[in-house]
């Protein structure tokens, strides 16, 4: 039940210009991400625009990624869905295709109580046979699972940890302290240093698609006690995120990757093309940060 590595890109999903999923774009994207030293891929989550895809499309993406990358790095499949049966179908697929772990946001749209959420997570763990990482991202999922409930969920041995995408470092450190046997990955890229300093098991984020080396470097610097280097790298991440918040994080990242010859296409509607003035600022940042 091991999940090797600690720094995982929340992988984007390549689309064609007509808006269809482009599985042929997965291999080049994986090669680029891994070339920057990242340890693995977290596929089919928010950064992968999974909530804009059918279960069939999500299955195509997970299958293709398994085929290209299973023997190269750690693979985590995000399988969360509004309906437990959809999450279970994807979890089963992940279990059968060589993923190391699954992850899921709480069931979304309807406001379910804790016992329903717990039932959903148990069903996913059961179906995949893999360690399950709860994806806590209250700003997007609409459900903020409180600390005590997260800890209760992790009493189940199959529930391995949490991908924590929120700014609350106090909650993050409480989880860390109170569940020493579980894994806690931080998902707010612009604050990764804070979490690493407080003792995270790693990070999983969208900007890791472009600058994964920055987060590998932050973790390394923190472990070596080199705070100056860690700060310098975190500032680089912060500068990029500042601009991405103006372009839209996913449209901006896709623009950047397309620009360096990693074809990922556009985001799916209702995402819209980014503001040209913001994209020009992103281009300028890239030019002054060693991207050709
Ligand atoms: O969990 C991502 N969160 C969201 C991952 O998509 C809301 C992060 O990687 C952010 O995109 C990143 C930029 O704000 O921190």
Q: How many CB atoms lie within 10 A of CB 274?
A: 21
CA of 205 to the centre of ligand 1 (A): 6
CA of 237 to the centre of ligand 1 (A): 12
Q: Residue 173 has what pLDDT?
A: 97
- Strand, coil or helix: 120: helix
Q: Residue 292 has what pLDDT?
A: 73
- Digitized pLDDT (tens) for each residue of the chain, 292 residues in all: 689 999 999 999 999 999 999 999 999 999 999 999 999 999 999 999 999 999 999 999 999 999 999 999 999 999 999 999 999 999 999 999 999 999 999 999 999 999 999 999 999 999 999 999 999 999 999 999 999 999 999 999 999 999 999 999 999 999 999 999 999 999 999 999 999 999 999 999 999 999 999 999 999 999 999 999 999 999 999 999 999 999 999 999 999 999 999 999 999 999 999 999 999 999 999 999 999 7
Q: Residue 39 has what pLDDT?
A: 98
Radius of gyration of the chain (CA): 18
> What phi-psi label fits residue 102: left (phi over 0), alpha (psi between -120 and 50 degrees) or beta?
beta
Separation in Å, CA 5 to CA 37, 40, 73, 116: 11, 7, 9, 32
Mutate to test the pocket of ligand 1, among 45, 142, 172, 189 (most ligand atoms within 8 A of CB): 189
The alpha carbon of residue 215 and the mean position of all alpha carbons in its chain are separated, in whole angstroms, by: 13
Give the DSSP per-residue string, 20-53: -B-GGGHHHHHHHHHHTT--EEEESSTTTTGGGS
CA of 255 to the centre of ligand 1 (A): 16
Separation in Å, CA 75 to CA 61, 70, 214: 13, 7, 20
Residues contacting ligand 1 via CB (< 6 Å): 10, 46-47, 137, 140, 165, 187-190, 205-207, 241, 249
Catalytic residues: 135, 163
Q: Residue 1 has what pLDDT?
A: 60
Q: Name the residue with tokens 């459900």.
A: 143
Q: Which two tokens stand for residue 229?
A: 């280097």
Q: How far apart are CA 286 and CA 253, in angstroms?
A: 11
């Amino acid at each position: 039940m091991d999940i090797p590595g600690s720094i995982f890109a929340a992988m984007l999903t390549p689309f064609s210009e007509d808006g269809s999923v482009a599985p042929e774009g997965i291999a080049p994207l994986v090669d680029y991400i891994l070339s920057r030293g990242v340890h693995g891929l977290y596929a089919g989550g928010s950064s992968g625009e999974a909530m804009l895809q059918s279960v069939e499309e999500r299955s195509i993406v997970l299958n293709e990624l398994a085929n290209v990358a299973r023997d190269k790095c750690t693979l985590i499949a995000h399988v969360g869905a509004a309906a437990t049966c959809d999450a279970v179908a994807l979890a089963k697929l992940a279990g059968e295709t060589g993923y190391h772990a699954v992850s899921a946001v709480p069931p979304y749209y309807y406001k379910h109580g804790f016992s329903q959420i717990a039932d959903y997570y148990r069903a996913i763990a059961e179906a995949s046979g893999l360690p399950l990482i709860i994806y806590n991202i209250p700003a997007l999922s609409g459900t903020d699972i409180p600390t005590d409930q997260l800890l209760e969920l992790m009493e189940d041995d199959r529930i391995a940890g949490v991908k924590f995408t929120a700014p609350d470092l106090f909650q993050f450190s409480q989880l860390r302290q109170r569940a020493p046997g579980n894994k806690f990955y931080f998902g707010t890229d612009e604050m990764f240093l804070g979490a690493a300093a407080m003792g995270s098991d790693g990070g999983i984020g969208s900007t890791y698609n472009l600058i994964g080396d920055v987060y590998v470097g932050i973790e390394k610097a923190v472990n070596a006690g080199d705070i100056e280097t860690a700060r310098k790298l975190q500032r680089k991440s912060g500068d990029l995120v500042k601009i991405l918040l103006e372009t839209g994080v996913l449209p901006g990242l896709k623009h950047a990757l397309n620009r360096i010859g990693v074809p990922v296409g556009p985001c799916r509607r209702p995402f819209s093309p980014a503001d040209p003035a913001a994209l020009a600022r992103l281009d300028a940042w890239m030019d002054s940060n060693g991207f050709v």
